[in-house]
Chains A and B, each alone.
Chain A
C-alpha cells in the first residue's frame, strides 16, 4: 500500500527552476506517467521522489508521511522504492542471478528464500535460462528485463521508471511497453513512469501527467488528454493537430476572422471577446467533394468550410491533405482514408463536428 503526493515541489538548478511548484496525487497501485519533452523536469521530479535530490521547496509524502522536504531528506536506501534507469544500470561484474539477488541480500533475506524468489521473477521476465550469464553477454532487451526483475524482486512499495525503453530499438520497445503493462497488472505496484514518448505513456499508464517547463499542465487518462487537451502545448505535444486562432463569441461560437466562424464543444470559462485557440485533430475532419453532400452535416450542426486541396501526401494506409481555406488564409491538415481521392487544386468541403473542436488555452 503506498500513495504518493507531491505538493508544491520545486527544484532549482543554478537559479532556473527545473521543477516548479509541482502538484500531483498518485493513488495506491496506480501507474502514472510523467510525459513531456526533454528538459521539462520529468527526470528531476523522479530523482526527487527517489531521494537522490532534495527539493528547494514543497514536500513529498508517501502514505501521508513526509519523506522529502527542504529540511528533511530520507536517503534513497531507506525509501523502499525500486528504480529502473535509462541506462539499465545492470552491474557488469555480476551475473544475471547476482544482479537480481542483490536487493534481497541487502534486505538480509535467507539464501533459500532468495533463490526461490529470484527464480520465480526470472521466469516471469523469461530470463530463467540466462541466470548465469554476465550482462555483457546479453542483448539490450535482455538487460532491460534484468533491470525489471531486479527492481520487482524486492517487492518495492513504489516503482520508478526513467525512460526505461529509450535505448531499445523500435520493435523491442513496442513489445516491452506491453510487458511493462502486463507486469503492472500482475503486481499493482504504485508506479511513476517517465517518458517523452506519448505512445509509451498511453499503453502503460492509468493516468498521464503532461509536463512543460517544470510544471504539470494536465493530468488525465489517455483519452482525456488526447480528446480534451487543456492547452495548446498538450494538443501539439500529443498527436498531430490543427490549431486555429479566433475570438470567442456567444453560444460557443469562435470567430476565426474573414467571415469564418466555428462552433466548438464547450467553453469552460466563456469570456466573450477573448482570444481563443481551437484544436481540431486531422482525423476528425472529413472531406466532401460537393455542396450537395454538405447539406446533411450542416443540418446536424457540423462546421463546414470550403477550400482547395493544396497538397496531398499518400501514406498507403491514409492520405494526408492540406486544405487551404480561401477566405482566411487558413490551412487545415486532414487525414483521410485512402479511398477518398482528391486532386491538388480541387475544391472540397472540410467538415468537423463541434465535439471535435476543442477550445484550448494559449499556454
Chain B
C-alpha cells in the first residue's frame, strides 16, 4: 500500500478518520479521574464534617476543640514532643550523615546499612521493644541497673514524655541522615580547602563553611522529622498513653472509641492537616531555592576529614546510637520470641519455639492477620504501581492539557497524616454511594491513597530517565501508543517499577495509624494485632510478628538493591 493510497483510504470514510484519534486516551483519562476521586473524597468529607452541625454550617467543632482542655493539651503536647524529636533527629542525623560521607570513620558502609535498618523498622515496633528494655519494673536495662548498683527503683522510665521523645527521634533521624548525606556527597572539598588556605582550622572550617552550606538541608530535615513524629500514632499510643500523655493522633483515635465523635475528630484533623501543608511548603521553598549553587553543582573532588584522636570515641558514639535504635530492640525482640518467659535470662530451660508455632499455626487471629496483611500488601502494591505508573506517565509525557496538575493530587497524601486520612476514609466510605467499611477494601483504599506519593515519585523518576525520543522513534516506525508502551517503555521502566512495587509493599505491611481506625474484627492486619496483643501482654507473639515484618521488609529492600545494582552493571557491560 503506497502512501497516497493509505492517505486516500483514510480520507474515504469518517470512521477511518476516527482512527486518527488516539485510542489510548480513555485509559489516561480514566486513571486521572480515578486519582482525583481517590484524593478528593476523604479530604472533602473531613472539611464537610468539621463544619457540619445539626442545622447546617457551624464552627462548633472547632470551638469545642479550643474549649475542651484535653484536646488543647494534646495539641500542646504534640508540638513540644515533635519539636524535641526534630531537634534530636537533626543532631543525630547530621552527625551520622557527615561522619559517613566526609570523615575517615571506620566501618562506614555497615553504619549506613544499620541506619537503613532503623529506617525500615516500624516505629511502633521500636516503641514496643523499648517497653521491654526500659519499662520501669521489668525492663531489661532497669533490671541490669538494679543488679549492677544494688539500687531500688529504675534508671529510666520509658513510659514518659522523655522516653517517647527519644524513641520517636531514634526512628525519625534517618530522614535527616539521608538528606545530609546527600548534601555532603555533592559538596566539593574545594570550598573547605579555600577556608583552610585562609588559615581556618579543621573544626572552624566545619563550623563556618560546611555547616552553613548544609543549613537548608538541616532545616529541611528538621521539618521532615517534625512532620514524621506529628503523624505517628503507634509510638505515642504505646509509650504515651500509659503515662497519661495524649498527642493529636491518639486523641483522634480516642474520639473514635465509643461513643464516636466524628465531628470533633474531623475538627481536630484539620489543624494537623494545615500545619503539615504549611511546613511542607516551607520545606519545599527552602530546598527548591538552591541558593547554594555549590551544593547542587557538580562538585569537585571530595577528601575525607581525618578525625584523629576523636576517631574511636566518635565511632563508639555511633555504635551507641545504633545500639539504641537497632541492636537492643532487635535483640530483645529475638529474645522475647524464643523465651518462655521473656523477662528471664535465655537459658535452655527458658528456650522455646512455641511462640513461632503458636503464631503461625495455632492462633487464628494472627494467622488471619498475616494473610490479610500480605494479601493487602501484594494487592495494593500491584494496583498502586499500576496507577502510579499511569499517572506518572501522563504527567511526564504531558499526554493531555493540564496533565501536570495531576502531580498535585498524586502527592496530596503527603500532607495527610495516616490518622487524618483514616478519619476521612471512615466518613466517606461508611455511607452511600460506596460502603466499604467493615470489609478489607477500606484498608486497601487507605493504603492505596497513603502510598500514592511514594509510588508516584518513584515511577516519575523512572519515566524521567527514559528519554521521550526513545518512544517517538518507535512511533514513527509504525507503532501506536500502546505498542510503544509494550515494546519500549515497559521493558525500560521494568526495574524502576519493580522498585516502586517494593516500596509500596513495605509501606503497606507496616501501616498502623490508618489501619487502627479502619479495621474490623474480620479485617485485622499484623500491626493492629500487635497493638491489640500488647494490651493482653502477649509479648512472645508480638515479638514473632515483629520479626516477621522485619525479615520480610529487609528481604524486599535487599532484593531491590540487588536488582538495581545488577541493572547498572548490565548496562555498563
Binding site for B on A (CB under 8 A): 2, 50, 52, 62-67, 72-83, 85-87, 89, 91-93, 102-103, 106-107, 134, 136-137, 147, 150, 154, 157, 160
Contact = CB atoms under 8 A, between A and B. Distances in A.
A87 B469 contact: yes
Given A2-B3, A75-B22, A106 B478 contact: yes
Contacts of A64: 4
A103 B6 contact: no
B488 A75 contact: no
Contacts of A150: 473, 477
Nearest to A103: B477
A102 B477 contact: yes
Contacts of A79: 3, 476
A156 to B, nearest CB: 9
A300 B190 CA distance: 66
Interface string B1-43: 0011011101100000100101000000000000000000000
B472 A76 contact: yes
B506 to A, nearest CB: 27
B573 A80 contact: no
Contacts of A80: 3, 6
13 contacts: A65-B8, A65-B11, A66-B11, A74-B10, A75-B480, A77-B476, A77-B478, A78-B478, A85-B469, A86-B469, A91-B488, A103-B477, A150-B473
A86 B477 CA distance: 16
A107 B478 contact: yes
Contacts of B290: none
B205 interface: no
Q: Closest 8 A-B residue pairs measured CB to CB? A: A103-B477, A89-B473, A89-B469, A65-B7, A106-B478, A85-B469, A76-B475, A83-B476
Contacts of A92: 492, 571
Contact of B573 (A2, A67, A137): A137
Contacts of B473: 83, 85, 89, 91, 147, 150
B491 interface: yes
Given A89-B469, A92-B492, A102 B4 contact: no
A157 B479 contact: no
B491 A63 contact: no
A259 B572 CA distance: 69
Contacts, number: 95
A81 B480 CA distance: 14
Contacts of B573: 134, 136-137
B316 interface: no
Given A77-B477, A103-B477, 10 more contacts: A50-B472, A65-B7, A66-B7, A66-B11, A72-B20, A74-B7, A77-B480, A87-B469, A89-B469, A134-B573
B470 interface: yes
A239 to B, nearest CB: 31
Interface in B522-566: none
Nearest to B477: A103
A157 B469 contact: no
B471 to A, nearest CB: 8
B487 interface: yes
Counting chain A CB atoms within 10 Å of each CB, which of B8, B10, B469, B572 scores highest? B469
Contact size range, B: 20 to 34
B24 to A, nearest CB: 11
Contact of B474 (A50, A62, A102): A102
B4 A65 contact: yes
B467 interface: yes
Contacts of A107: 478
Given A65-B7, A87-B467, A92-B571, A81 B476 contact: yes
A167 B480 CA distance: 28
A73 B477 contact: no
Interface of B: 3-4, 6-8, 10-11, 17, 20, 22, 467, 469-470, 472-480, 483, 487-488, 491-492, 571-573
Given A83-B476, A103-B478, A136-B572, A78 B6 contact: yes
Given A75-B480, A77-B480, A107-B478, A85 B472 contact: yes
Contacts of B488: 91
A29 to B, nearest CB: 14
B308 to A, nearest CB: 44
A130 B20 CA distance: 38
Contacts of B475: 52, 75-77
A154 B473 CA distance: 13
B472 A62 contact: no
Contacts of B470: 87, 89, 91
Contacts of A154: 477-478
B479 A67 contact: no
Given A72-B20, A92-B571, A82 B476 contact: yes
Contacts of A134: 571, 573
A91 B475 CA distance: 13
Contact of A106 (B11, B477, B492, B572): B477
Nearest to A80: B3
A91 B477 CA distance: 13
Contacts of B472: 50, 52, 76, 83, 85, 89
A160 B476 CA distance: 10
Contact of A74 (B20, B474, B487, B491): B20
A107 B476 CA distance: 12
A102 B22 contact: no
A73 B11 CA distance: 11
A76 B468 CA distance: 14
B469 A63 contact: no
A21 B491 CA distance: 41
B107 to A, nearest CB: 34
Given A77-B476, A83-B472, A89 B467 contact: yes
Contact of B571 (A63, A67, A136): A136
Contacts of A66: 7, 11
A174 B370 CA distance: 66
Contact of A157 (B3, B22, B487, B571): B3
Contacts of B492: 91-93
B476 A76 contact: yes
Nearest to B487: A102
Nearest to A73: B20
A353 B491 CA distance: 64
Nearest to A99: B473
B467 A63 contact: no
A81 B478 CA distance: 9
A147 B474 CA distance: 12
A274 B237 CA distance: 88
Contacts of A72: 17, 20
B3 A77 contact: no
A258 to B, nearest CB: 50
Given A74-B20, A75-B22, A136-B571, A82 B3 contact: no
A335 B476 CA distance: 46
Most chain B CB inside 10 Å of its own CB: which residue of A2, A75, A154 = A75
A2 B4 CA distance: 9
B477 A62 contact: no
Contacts of B478: 77-78, 103, 106-107, 154
Contacts of B487: 102
A82 B6 CA distance: 16
Given A83-B472, A83-B473, A62 B3 contact: yes
Nearest to A71: B17
Contacts of A160: 476
Contacts of B8: 65
Contacts of A137: 573
A148 B22 CA distance: 28
Contacts of B571: 92, 134, 136
